[in-house]
Chains A and B, each alone.
Chain A
Amino acid sequence: MASFRQWLRGVGLATAAVAATQLFTPAAQAQAPATIKIGILHSLSGTMAISETTLKDVMLMLIDEQNKKGGLLGKKLEAVVVDPASNWPLFAEKARQLITVDKVAAVFGCWTSVSRKSVLPVFEETGGILFYPVQYEGEESSKNVFYTGAAPNQQAIPAVDYLMANEKVKRWVLAGTDYVYPRTTNKILEAYLKSKGVAAEDIMINYTPFGHSDWQNIVASIKKFGSAGKKTAVVSTINGDANVPFYKELGNQGIKATDIPVVAFSVGEEELAGIDTKPLVGHLTAWNYFESVNNPANKAFIAQWKAYTKNPKRTTNDPMEAHYIGFNMWVKAVQKAGTTDPAKVIDAMIGVTVPNLTGGYSAMMPNHHITKPVLIGEIRADGQMNTVWQTPGTVVANEWSPYLEGSKDLIADWRAPLSCGNFNVVTGKCGGASK
């Protein structure tokens, strides 16, 4: 009997001791459930939900798959999904919540540049990691952000080169939605075209508001601009929704891709899924990935995506591939660093190389951007792209454009000892002429 009582006392003591440890060292205990949290910061409501919901789903799929492979560092991964609701200040709030309350190891998120700019100070202050998967205007490199989308020289400039060489385009319409990405991209393109000897009167720049739907006289003026006897092309940074009425109007006014081709940087498979693509056939897009790319890795990814979403009609697109690359890079960097501590992972990221879905490899460069192949595709009647041209190898991102006055002397290199996002090679100082 006594032994039983002693045993009871022992159990009691042990319980108390465990309780005490729990009380006094909550942090140590919190890590014991053995999951690594990953934050997903994509809008699930509001105007951007159309594009960003897909990226949330693809992240959940990638995390799910990694867990099936046994997780990471012996722990399971756990997704923490928040909804910043297409509301830019809310992005910053939710990012702070993810890092300080949920203590996520990395955040995958944002679509628009303004949302990225909104969360940037939060990540730099708290030392978190953000993977940003969308093509953007460049002119930025942060220690805490890994840019897995294309910089302008990985999308816009090769597209212009293609049109110059293959379609002999001599006259250019730069049409965009009125916000930071098109304005910066067009500024770079304008400087680039002029450096190639294009005269100022052969460049027409046009901006329209978000969601512009009445394109009648803008298309008419493009048509007029295109009838000066030189081959004309439209470089479109028109965003999202406004594209559908734009292309419809082109078709209505009888402008075919064989007359005045339009090359778009913001139109992907996802955007084309909801519209009648017949009038668009032959117009071009420039991306770093197309769903139609034919290789085993991509086929497997598409099959997995369709199975995961239980929808055989779901399309894949470029930002999804960017998250695929970014997630795999992060996994590899964590394995290399042996920890999920952001500071160590940030250092381990540079140089990590993983396969992309176009049959090659992408590497994380010291400027926190990745190497990518550039693909030019023509829209097919079924809403997919036909690759008509492709860079021979991968292209390294110019985060600071060499064609802009304020940024041509800047470089970013996050390796020690430089460890700077805007090093001015002329003055030799970090924090150069930018902004």
Chain B
Amino acid sequence: MTMMCRLLLLLVLSVAALPAHAQTEDPFAGLASDDFDGISQAITALALSGDKQAAPTIRALQAEALFAGTDGALLIKSDAGYRDARTGAPVADVDEDSLNPVKVNNKVRRAVEAGLGSLDLFAATPDIRRKAAEAVFTSRDPAILPALARALAQEKDAGVATVMREAQAASMLESADAVVADKVAAVATLRLRGDLEAQSLLASLHDQPPAVMAAASTAISAIARLQQLWSIVQSVIYGLSLGSVLLLAAAGLAITFGVMGVINMAHGEMVMLGAYTTFVVQEVIRAYVPGLFWASLFIAVPLAFMVSGAVGILIERGLIRFLYGRPLETLLATWGLSLVLQQAVRSVFGANNRDVGTPAWMSGAAQWGGVTVTYNRLTIVVFAFLVLAALMATLRYTALGLRMRAVTQNRRMAAAMGIRTPWIDALTFGLGSGIAGMAGVALSQIDNVSPNLGQGYIIDSFMVVVFGGVGNLWGTLVSAMTLGIVNKFLEPVAGAVLGKIVVLVLLILFIQRKPRGMFPLKGRAVEA
């Protein structure tokens, strides 16, 4: 039996044409090697050895939990203690000081991914088989071809089978003894795949028969054309995503600056407070109810609204109400206030960035054709529209909204009708600040939660509001999306720095022609 195993092992190894020193009797020995090349070769050999401990050992290495003892022992560390990598048996009384972690670098990681790929081709779950096939596609090791053929023969899932065929094509092109017709067919398979990985693989081909090279070069240009089309769609989506971030940041300002006319330079700090509220909520959840982490953002949204809203009301009552009608003083006072708030947060939470986690349901990305959309960006787009809808509904359909509109349109008439205008002012400012706080919850997912968070958004927010037309929420929406998309189309052409400048110049020219923005408010209220 052992004899058989060894013979098989020897056969597999010689087929794989591995370097001589990996052909030791113990497939595990090379893992304790000192150099990365030795370790990677050992992993490849181990994966092909058919040893039943191969998969757990390589997985442990991937998790940085594989340790080598001075006597050549290999141990897998887990929460329950150490196990012997060769036998899987638990090991007691381990002297931790004598252990060294098996060294990992990118070369080793590639070997690990390829090794696991070949092992997982026969896994029970289709998802794991798909991942394994992707790993084989990346590693393109001709030695895996026989295993791949067997896996493909018994594959029931059509999606996984496609990936396996692509992996087969990729490995085939690397194989020295594949026939030309097979290779040309492989190129055709990759052309159908049509993504950047396929393009990259085809472009890296060299020393192939002329027929293969010709097929590859037509396939590359076909893929490039396809990618060109997708990249336009992708830019629009990136633009919408940036636009929704701008919209969120500016929605609050559309109230405080747009409706009330207060130049609030501390607006960004309201956003920052919202982000820190998210951080605090997550810390509390982590400490007391870790199971609720997925809901942390839902809890944070109303809390951030309340925190930033309350601070906003305090600012209005304590500072801004004394400065109505004096824009220059308001600007300076709120600028000073923004510095005070930043330093206050820095003193309480420290100058370092705070780690705000992303719930699992917001991680990852969806792939539609050549377009990738990450779930966190998608969530923010949806959230931005919800916030805007809620804000419009508040202004349109609630008593508070009615009073706000009344006060901003004709303060003296509203006062004469019995509305307590100072109180409405405070609430309006609080509403605008609260919305900035909710924006902070969303921004905590894509930006650094640091005391400087707000500064990055203040200029953009003013730009959006002014461009859209002061006092008009629809204008804010259209302007945020326009700026987002224009920015994303300019960035690849002009670079991020120049792109921003170009947008700013265009904006200035536009404001010169239409000082009231895209959608100016009309009527007597404007003239007053």
Contacts and interface: CB of A to CB of B under 8 A. Distances in A.
A binds B: yes
Interface of A: 45, 47, 49-50, 53, 166-167, 178, 206-209, 211-214, 216-218, 220-221, 223-224, 226-230, 241, 244-245, 248, 252-254, 257-259, 261, 270, 273-276, 282, 378, 380-381, 386, 388
Contacts of A230: 203-204
A378 B101 CA distance: 14
B106 A167 contact: yes
B372 A50 contact: no
A254 B365 contact: yes
Contact of B355 (A167, A206, A276): A276
A227 B203 contact: yes
A252 B373 CA distance: 9
Contacts of B185: none
B353 A50 contact: yes
A276 B238 contact: no
Contacts of B365: 252-254
Interface in B151-184: none
B372 to A, nearest CB: 6
Contacts of B497: 178, 207-209
Contacts of A207: 495-497
B242 interface: yes
Contacts of B204: 229-230
A258 B113 contact: yes
A388 B448 contact: no
B113 A217 contact: no
Given A207-B496, A217-B238, A388-B105, A227 B352 contact: no
B488 A229 contact: no
11 contacts: A50-B450, A208-B497, A214-B245, A224-B227, A241-B450, A241-B452, A244-B353, A252-B364, A257-B109, A258-B138, A273-B352
Given A166-B107, A378-B106, A229 B374 contact: no
A223 B241 CA distance: 19
B106 A282 contact: yes
Nearest to A47: B452
Interface in B473-524: 488, 491-492, 495-497, 500
B343 interface: yes
B113 A275 contact: no
B59 interface: no
A218 B450 CA distance: 23
B127 interface: no
Interface of B: 36, 64, 103-107, 109-110, 113, 138, 196-197, 199-205, 227, 231, 234-235, 238, 241-242, 245, 343, 346, 351-355, 357-358, 364-365, 372, 374, 376-377, 446-448, 450, 452, 455-456, 488, 491-492, 495-497, 500
B353 A275 contact: yes
- Listed from nearest, the 10 A-B pairs whose CB atoms lie closest are A229-B203, A229-B204, A227-B200, A274-B353, A227-B196, A49-B351, A252-B374, A208-B496, A216-B238, A388-B105
A221 B105 CA distance: 26
Given A211-B455, A274-B354, 10 more contacts: A49-B346, A220-B238, A228-B203, A244-B448, A245-B446, A254-B365, A258-B109, A270-B352, A274-B355, A378-B105
Nearest to A232: B200
The interface centre, meaning the residue of B105, B113, B358, B497 with most chain A CB atoms within 10 A of its CB, is: B105
A258 B197 CA distance: 13
Contacts of A227: 196-197, 199-200, 203
B459 to A, nearest CB: 11
A230 B206 CA distance: 11
B352 A258 contact: no
Contacts of B355: 274-276
A252 B197 CA distance: 16
A372 B410 CA distance: 71
A49 B352 CA distance: 8
A252 B496 CA distance: 20
Contacts of A381: 64
A261 B106 contact: yes
A167 B357 CA distance: 32
